[in-house]
Structure 1
Amino acid sequence: MGSFSIWHWLIVLVIVLLLFGKGKISDVMGDMAKGVKSFKKGLADEDETPAKPAGSTLDHKPADVVNATTDEKSRAS
Structure 2
Amino acid sequence: MIGGIGMPELLVILVIVLIIFGAGKLPEIGAGLGKGIRNFKKATTEEPELPEKKAQAVEQLEAKNSESEKGKT
Q: TM-score, normalised by structure 2?
A: 0.38
Rg (Cα) greater in structure? 1
Between structures 1 and 2, the one with greater helix share: 2
Q: TM-score, normalised by structure 1?
A: 0.37
